[in-house]
Amino acid sequence: MLKEQESLAIHKWSNWDDLELRHLKYAIAVNDKQGFTKAAAYLDIDQGFLSKQIKWLEKKIGFQLFDRHQRPLRLTDAGNEFLQISRQILHQFEQAIELGQRLSRGEKGRINIGINTSIANSKLPDILRAFHGKFPDVELVLQELASYDQIEKLRNQQLDLGFFHLHHLQNIKNNNDDVLNFMPILQESLVVVLPENHRFVRRTSISLAALANEQFILPPHHLLYNLRNQINRLCADAGFQPKVRQEAAWISTVVSLVAGGMGISLLPANVQNLQRSGVVYRSIQGQSPVLEIVAVWRSDNVSIILQNFLEVIKNLV
């Protein structure tokens, strides 16, 4: 029984294979212009041809659209219902074309982006503002993730783009993983973060050796390995290992603990943008290591939205 119904449906639709959207447009024009003469002029086609096309359409669908005995020309009841739905069909078709065109230009859709604290406290607001200004209908899905989580999600195509320190990517490149591309975004040094009542606040810069006996608040190795590694190496060069009183996963928490007088910290210079009361920031005497933030994406990701996002980044950085 189902096969018979399917066969009848296929036969029914096959009878309309040669019915085109232009036939609907012709019928709508005849109704809107209240006659064949004005409709033909509006459509820029021959009036005789238009009349034949409407007659062909009426024969094809099995009922009359127009009552030709009325002046001005009027729709039949069946014709009225038919044209109402025809207008909806044409409107939906135009919407589908417009949506497809916008998707093909990357003006609509979504992009999944991994971020870290450094990019969030520095360039990210400018990047998001510029991108949203050009592509307001693209959904930006931001995920605050550790670098190794971003790398894993990029490999698994769960992220389109990631922002993290170059050191992590260099480790990948050394393992011959060439699926990831990167673009430099930001270089920044480390700064000393002190409670506002610390004895060193009057100094404009501080030597690392002077911090040897201080209690440190630092992010853990497993979340920000590159940062902790840089801090440990820098302190080792100054002749000591930092005495870690407390670890905190988020940079903002580290700053809050410093403000509470629990210790001091060494953090990327972007932390100064947090404008946290109760802390002061001082530069490090001598040469401070430079941390480089990069934007990373899969080389085989052909998303036009990603390309648009990368273009915005290029224009800014």
Question: For position 124, what pLDDT does the model report?
Answer: 94
d(CA 66, CA 77): 9
Could you identify the residue written with the tokens 């490090």?
284
d(CA 140, CA 160): 11
Please check whether residue 178 is in contact with residue 200, taking contact to mean a CB–CB distance below 8 angstroms. Answer: no
Question: For position 183, what pLDDT does the model report?
Answer: 93
Between the alpha carbon of residue 182 and those of residues 173, 178, 230, 293, the distances in Å are: 11, 11, 21, 10
Domain spanning 2-104: which CATH class is it, in words? mainly alpha
Question: For position 274, what pLDDT does the model report?
Answer: 82
The distance in angstroms from the start CA to the end CA of the chain is 66
Q: What 8-state DSSP symbol labels residue 161?
A: E
Matching CATH number, 109-187+292-316, of 3.20.20.140, 3.20.20.70, 3.40.190.10, 3.40.50.2000 = 3.40.190.10
* Cα-only R_g, the chain: 33
d(CA 237, CA 235): 5
Question: For position 13, what pLDDT does the model report?
Answer: 44
In the sheet where 205-206 sits, what is the strand order? 205-206, 279-284, 190-195, 265-268
Superfamily for domain range 190-289:
Periplasmic binding protein-like II (3.40.190.10)
Question: For position 168, what pLDDT does the model report?
Answer: 58
Taking only the tens of pLDDT, the chain with its 317 residues reads: 545 544 544 444 446 667 888 999 999 999 999 899 999 999 999 999 999 999 999 999 989 999 888 778 889 999 999 999 999 999 999 988 888 888 878 889 999 999 988 898 889 999 999 999 999 999 999 999 888 889 999 999 999 999 988 865 655 555 555 689 999 998 888 999 999 999 999 999 999 999 999 999 998 887 777 788 888 988 999 999 999 999 998 888 999 999 999 999 999 998 998 878 999 999 999 866 678 889 999 999 999 999 999 999 999 88
**Start-end of CATH 3.40.190.10 domains in the chain:** 109-187+292-316, 190-289
Question: For position 230, what pLDDT does the model report?
Answer: 83
Question: For position 118, what pLDDT does the model report?
Answer: 85
3-state secondary structure of 254: helix
**Start-end of CATH 1.10.10.10 domains in the chain:** 2-104
Element (H, E) at 183: strand 180-188
d(CA 94, CA 134): 23
In the sheet where 109-115 sits, what is the strand order? 138-144, 109-115, 161-165, 291-298, 180-188
